[in-house]
Amino acid sequence: MAKAAANPTRTETAPVTTTDREALLITVTGIDKPGITAEIAKILDDASAELLDVEQVVVHGRLILHFLVCLDAMGSHPVLKELLWKTRELGLDLDLDVVDPVRDHTPQAGRRRFAITLVAPGVGAGVLGAAAAAVAQTGFNIDRIERLSEGRLSSIELLVSGDEGADARTLKTRLLEIERRLPCDIALQRESLLRRSKRLVVMDMDSTLIQQEVIDELARLHGVYDEVSQVTERAMQGELPFGESLKRRCALLAGAPESVFRDVLERIEFTPGAEHFVGALKRLGYKTAVVSGGFIQVAEPLRQKLGLDYAFANHLEVEDGVLTGRVIGPVVDRARKADLLESMAQAERISLEAVIAIGDGANDLDMLDRAGLGIAFNAKKVVQEAADTAINQKNLDAVLYLLGIREEDLRAVSA
């Protein structure tokens, strides 16, 4: 290996000598400024170098630039001296490494690739170190680390790969253990084009898109909150069939004035990040929907306010300006939520693999399972255990990071 630098006190070793047609890894580091990549690339082009790979990263103004090239008779090639003088002129450090023959650097068929996303108010070195240790212990290797966030939340993405001996199931188990021990959400997904090309996002409404349970708010205004909330909790925990629980709770609302819907809408608070999350999805071309076991009299106004594409929920019957306590039409229960998700995907000609479902209760389980990515959002334990991944940050923006979307990407589409 030969090292050259702008610092004259550094020791330079003998020139690289190697057999013909081996690969040379050129690494340039130093303070970044415009034109560096162009200068190095021109020298390589003039020398008729065969470019095999290239990568550039800038971290807080510090450049790390790699060129993997193949040169005839590298040991005596004049390009090495040209690179040395050019990097000195630019005030940069230069490393030259002879690597294994080119054939050993071609992508290996059968290697499995995963994305690990860390999301927290502040991802510290402890979380990153623990995740990295889990990767190494299960036979995987970290190929790349990238920061996705710039603002409120902190998110780091690790792209890892492993051969057939790498144990993805054990990796997921160890990451879950870290998640339980440290204040950070950790998601493991198969890295593929589909992870970054989702096209439809379907959300539950109560305690997901909004912070309230609508039926509880209706009950509070009607004076039957305690009775209704007990049934609601049993349904959310999966202890009572949703259809039965809905029938019991709606019956308790009989006699309430229709104006109660307007009163509830005035109390509704979106989940933090919800409006930004939906707006970002729309700018990126996603279709969006709310599918709720609540009531369309609330879901539809929210759809209009956020600009969602679809809203489905139960229709609570009203006669002569008063709630009857009965539901009109099919009940939006666990099975129907999943069916509606599939119907929307078909209508938009979107594969189920390109659909994201987000929910928090047992009523969402089939919908989460049917989607390409099911996310348990601040969910009950039974839902977190069944979903593909879980987010426990109190902010819907966190979901964007699971898609590999960076904040600078959002700025670009907003410009």
- Do 182 and 264 belong to one domain? no
Question: Which strands, in side-by-side order, build the sheet including 200-203?
Answer: 322-328, 310-319, 287-295, 200-203, 355-359, 373-377, 389-391
Q: Per the residue annotation, which of 32, 185, 206, 397 is the catalytic one?
A: 206
- Do 144 and 101 belong to one domain? no
Predicted pLDDT of residue 301: 98
pTM over 0.95, yes/no: no
Q: How far apart are CA 358 and CA 202, in angstroms?
A: 6
Residue type, 366: D
Strand pairing report for 22-31 and 93-101: antiparallel
- Do 372 and 277 belong to one domain? yes
- Do 245 and 364 belong to one domain? yes
Domains identified in the chain, total number: 3
In which element (H, E) is residue 375 found? strand 373-377
- Do 256 and 338 belong to one domain? yes
The last residue of one of the domains, among 74, 105, 136, is: 105
- Do 291 and 165 belong to one domain? no
- With b meaning 16 or more CB within 10 Å and e meaning fewer, what string describes 375-387? bbbbbbeebbebb
**Helices 260-267 and 296-306, packing angle to 10 deg:** 40
- Do 225 and 253 belong to one domain? yes
- Do 117 and 101 belong to one domain? no
In which element (H, E) is residue 145 found? strand 141-147
DSSP string covering 167-222: -HHHHHHHHHHHHHHTT-EEEEEE-SGGGG---EEEE-TBTTTBSS-HHHHHHHHH
Low-confidence ranges of the chain (pLDDT < 70): 1-22, 73-77, 101-110, 151-152, 193-194, 236, 238, 412-415
What is the CATH number for 174?
3.30.70.260
Domain hosting residue 86, numbered range = 2-105
Predicted pLDDT of residue 251: 95
Q: Per the residue annotation, which of 32, 204, 333, 388 is the catalytic one?
A: 204
User: How distant, in Å, are the alpha carbons of 216, 302, 311, 399 from that of 289?
Assistant: 22, 11, 6, 15
- Do 204 and 298 belong to one domain? yes
- Do 161 and 231 belong to one domain? no
Predicted pLDDT of residue 10: 38
Catalytic residue list contains 369: no
- Do 265 and 382 belong to one domain? yes
Catalytic residue list contains 204: yes
Q: How far apart are CA 193 and CA 199, in angstroms?
A: 12
Strand pairing report for 322-328 and 310-319: antiparallel
Predicted pLDDT of residue 335: 95
The last residue of one of the domains, among 156, 191, 226, is: 191
